Amino acid sequence: MIEGIKRLKGIFANVSKADFLEDMRLQDASAFDISTIGEAAAHVSEEFQQAHPEIPWIKMRGIRNRLVHIFDYGQIDYDIIWTVATVELPELEPKIRAALAMIPLPDDFTLPEV
């Protein structure tokens, strides 16, 4: 999830919404990264999810499912993708990092900087 957020920050670093809405490559890349984040959320244990209700697990899985299942039909609302990538995920990142900080990890493990 952190890696996906990092990738999205890179995609949107110097892109206006108008430019994003005109660039199919940026749209595809961002939809892929958001779906990957949702897929990762689906693999988080129920116990961990319950311990961290501040993270919208169901919403994350839901957007992934919608992206994956309607992509072929060209029905993605890129205004929503823009909001998720530029507002919601950056706000969610500290919550994910805080939750991950509670997991005992090997000393040589570090989360990617975002």
Residues known to be catalytic: 64, 69
d(CA 21, CA 76): 12
Residue 3: in which H helix or E strand, if any? helix 2-12
User: Do 5 and 60 meet the contact criterion of CB atoms below 8 Å apart?
Assistant: no
User: Do 48 and 101 meet the contact criterion of CB atoms below 8 Å apart?
Assistant: no
